[in-house]
Amino acid sequence: MFFDDHPEFLETSTTSANVRRLNLRHAAIIEENHDVLVGARVLDIASHDGRWSFAALESGARDVTGIEGRSYLVDNANRTFVNKEIAQSRFRFIHADVHEALRNGVGSFDVVMCLGFLYHTLRYVELFAGIRATGAHHVIIDTRVSLDKNPVIRVYRNRLERESMAVEDSYSYGGKSLVGSPSMSALKRMLATYGYRIASKTDWPRILSEHESPANEAKKYLAGKRVTLLAVSRD
C-alpha cells in the first residue's frame, strides 16, 4: 500500500496520520484516476506536506505544482521531495493564499486536485474561476459535503491555530475563519457554472471491499458526508 511504502508522510504533518485511511484515500483519489494523471501537468490545491503531489507523480504525472498556505508544510514538502531525489524540474511548491495565487496565475495544467479544501473556504467564486483559468480538463475533488438536497452551503467557523483547519487570510478575524460545506447539488451547480460536469464518483463500498477494510475506516464516505469525484471540462 502506498503510505506503507512512504511513511515519511506520517511524520511531516499532524493531520490525518491514520495509515489505513490514507491508503484507502489513495485508492479512491489516485488509483481510480490513474488514467487522467499519466503524463499530466498537475496542480495540487492546498497541497499540505506534498503527500498527494508525490502520489500523483508516482502515478505517472509529468510534473506537479502545489499551493499551500502554511510555510512549514511547504518546507516539509520540498525536503521530502529532495530526499526522495525527485528532479527539481518535476515539482514546485508555492507558499501563498490559494485564491490569491490562482488570481495571480500559476500556469496551465491538465489536472487540478482539490483535496480536503472545499470545506476550508467560502470563497467559491474565486476558487472555481481560478481552476477554470488553469485550462484544466480534469478536476479531482475529495471533500466533505452537506446532506441537504437543495443547492445550499452550510457555514461553519474554523479555528486557525489547528493544522487541519483553514489558513488565515484577509477575511479572518479573531483567530477564526468562516468556511462552508456545500451540498452535492450546490457543488454540481458551481462546477457547471465554470464549465465542468461530474464524470464519476468513487464507489467507496467497493473500495472498502477490495481492500478488506472495516467500515469505520470510511464512515463519512459511506454516510454520504464526504465524496471523491472526477469532474471533466465541457469545453
Residue 15 pLDDT exceeds 70: yes
- The reported pLDDT for the residue numbered 13 is 83
pLDDT class of 16 with cuts at 50, 70, 90? low
- The reported pLDDT for the residue numbered 145 is 98
Q: How far is CA 186 from CA 40, 99, 143, 150, 178, in A?
A: 28, 20, 13, 7, 18
Residue 160 pLDDT exceeds 90: no
pLDDT class of 81 with cuts at 50, 70, 90? very high
Give a yes or no: residue 12 inside a domain. Answer: yes
- The reported pLDDT for the residue numbered 226 is 97
Number of structural domains, the chain? 1
**Residues 6 or more apart whose Cβ sits within 8 Å of residue 135:** 108, 109
pLDDT class of 169 with cuts at 50, 70, 90? very high
Q: Work out the average pLDDT over 49-55.
A: 97
Q: Work out the average pLDDT over 74-101.
A: 97
More confident residue, 164 or 148: 148
Residue pLDDT, tens place only, 174-188: 999 999 999 999 999
Give a yes or no: residue 113 inside a domain. Answer: yes
Give a yes or no: residue 179 inside a domain. Answer: no
Residue pLDDT, tens place only, 97-150: 999 999 999 999 999 999 999 999 999 999 999 999 999 999 999 999 999 999
Pairing mode, if any, of strands 111-115 and 91-95? unpaired
Q: In what order do the strands lie in the sheet with 63-68?
A: 91-95, 63-68, 41-45, 111-115, 138-144, 226-233, 196-201
Q: Report residue 117 as a C-alpha cell.
A: 479544501
Residue 56 pLDDT exceeds 90: yes
Residue 164 pLDDT exceeds 90: no
| Boundaries of domain holding 95 | 2-144+196-233
pLDDT class of 39 with cuts at 50, 70, 90? very high
Residue 18 pLDDT exceeds 90: no
Q: Closest Cα partner for 86 from 114, 66, 109? A: 66
Give a yes or no: residue 51 inside a domain. Answer: yes
Give a yes or no: residue 190 inside a domain. Answer: no
Q: Work out the average pLDDT over 35-57.
A: 98
Distance of alpha carbon 217 from alpha carbon 29, whole angstroms: 15
- The reported pLDDT for the residue numbered 213 is 87
Give a yes or no: residue 167 inside a domain. Answer: no
**Residues 6 or more apart whose Cβ sits within 8 Å of residue 28:** 142, 202, 204, 207, 221, 228
Q: Which CATH number is 103's domain given?
A: 3.40.50.150
Q: Record the pTM.
A: 0.96
- The reported pLDDT for the residue numbered 162 is 84
Give a yes or no: residue 180 inside a domain. Answer: no
Give a yes or no: residue 174 inside a domain. Answer: no
CA of residue 44 relative to chain centroid, distance: 7
